[in-house]
């Protein structure tokens, strides 16, 4: 935020001391404005704003609380949580944890938690039995939360742009058809467990720290994955193409393209 002052403010101040004093006043005023701005962000939206969102959500079953400057989720969310199908609290930047009871909805199908400061999720999140799309991108996760591996109806999981270094063994329980792990710090694919994800068709692991040996033969040959986005790792295209099992993967890739 910039505060600009007209040059006319200085035209009657000829001495250096006057100019310095005037600039100090400007800085002080700018500081006050900046503090006011920070307080506004910290406190988040007013109760009246929240209430308007809740009233809209009661009709549409969609609750959008994007970019509201929230640090915690308001308790009022419990009023509409039961029947929500789509819930977004993305781009708040201040949220570091969430209370599952404020998200609980057996009908919730889309949950967007992206662009916050989250580094964990409550295990009870696995109780969202209708959730089909989960976006936890651009947070502070250092590992993939185990609870997401047990979401029975999850189809799309976006965990890109985090700090994830490895995948838990529970990844074998994932039901997703698309898993996005781009722009993390993966140094292991845990392919021995990932191969058991029968529904997985698209795997995105661009811009990580993976070696070609992470793509084991069993995964390339026997998984159902038909698209692997792997650019920006510690190997070249030709290295990947020479891996055992690449031919079987390429056959699946080609067959999928023909159907499109």
The predicted pLDDT at position 107 comes to 85
Q: Are residues 115 and 167 part of one domain?
A: yes
Domain-located, residue 216: yes
* pLDDT 10s digits, 144-178: 999 999 999 999 999 999 999 999 999 999 999 99
Considering the entire predicted model, what is its pTM?
Answer: 0.76
- Percentage above 90 pLDDT, the chain: 55
CB 171 within 8 A of CB 191: no
Least confident among 40-44, 46-50, 83-87, 253-257: 40-44
Model confidence at 82, in pLDDT bands (50, 70, 90)? low
Q: Are residues 60 and 18 part of one domain?
A: no
Domain-located, residue 32: yes
Q: Are residues 84 and 21 part of one domain?
A: no
Q: Are residues 134 and 26 part of one domain?
A: no
- Domain range for 200 is 47-259
Task: Give the separation between CA 194 and CA 179, rounded to whole angstroms.
Answer: 11
Domain-located, residue 63: yes
Domain-located, residue 179: yes
The closest alpha carbon to 181, from 223, 214, 218, belongs to: 214
The predicted pLDDT at position 129 comes to 92
Q: Are residues 150 and 27 part of one domain?
A: no
Q: Are residues 186 and 64 part of one domain?
A: yes
Q: Are residues 82 and 161 part of one domain?
A: yes
| Average pLDDT of the chain, as a whole number | 81
Q: Are residues 65 and 28 part of one domain?
A: no
CB 217 within 8 A of CB 245: yes
Residue 39 or residue 145, greater confidence: 145
Q: Are residues 28 and 67 part of one domain?
A: no
Domain-located, residue 193: yes
Q: Are residues 35 and 139 part of one domain?
A: no
Q: Are residues 20 and 70 part of one domain?
A: no
Q: Which string of DSSP letters, residue by residue, matches 110-148? A: EEE--SS------GGGGG-TT--EEE--SS--SB--GGG
Task: Give the separation between CA 41 and CA 88, rounded to whole angstroms.
Answer: 18
Neighbours of 244 (CB within 10 A): 12
CB 219 within 8 A of CB 196: no
Number of domains in the chain: 2
CATH of the domain at 175: 3.80.10.10
Model confidence at 31, in pLDDT bands (50, 70, 90)? very low
List the structure tokens of 176.
């997703």
The predicted pLDDT at position 65 comes to 73
Q: What is the mean pLDDT of residues 212-236?
A: 98
Model confidence at 55, in pLDDT bands (50, 70, 90)? confident
Domain-located, residue 229: yes
């Amino acid at each position: 935020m910039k505060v600009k002052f007209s040059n006319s403010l200085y035209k009657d101040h000829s001495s250096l001391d006057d100019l310095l004093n005037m600039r100090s006043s400007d800085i002080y005023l700018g500081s006050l404005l900046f503090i006011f701005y920070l307080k506004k962000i910290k406190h988040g939206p007013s109760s009246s704003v929240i209430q308007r969102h809740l009233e809209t959500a009661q009709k549409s079953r969609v609750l959008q609380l994007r970019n509201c400057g929230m640090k915690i989720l308001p308790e009022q969310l419990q009023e509409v949580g039961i029947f929500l199908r789509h819930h977004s609290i993305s781009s708040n930047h201040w949220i570091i944890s969430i209370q599952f009871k404020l998200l609980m909805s057996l009908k919730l199908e889309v949950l967007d938690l992206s662009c916050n400061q989250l580094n964990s999720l409550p295990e009870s999140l696995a109780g969202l039995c209708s959730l089909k799309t989960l976006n936890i991108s651009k947070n502070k996760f250092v590992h993939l939360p185990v609870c997401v591996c047990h979401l029975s109806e999850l189809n799309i999981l976006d965990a890109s742009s985090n700090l994830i270094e490895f995948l838990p063994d529970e990844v074998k329980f994932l039901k997703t058809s698309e898993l996005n792990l781009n722009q993390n710090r993966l140094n292991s694919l845990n392919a021995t467990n990932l191969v058991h994800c029968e529904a997985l068709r698209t795997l995105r692991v661009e811009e990580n720290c993976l070696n070609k040996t992470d793509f084991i033969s069993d995964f390339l040959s026997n998984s159902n994955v038909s698209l692997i986005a792997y650019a920006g790792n510690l190997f070249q295209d030709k290295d990947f193409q020479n891996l055992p099992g690449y031919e079987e993967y390429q056959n699946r890739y080609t067959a999928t393209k023909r159907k499109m």
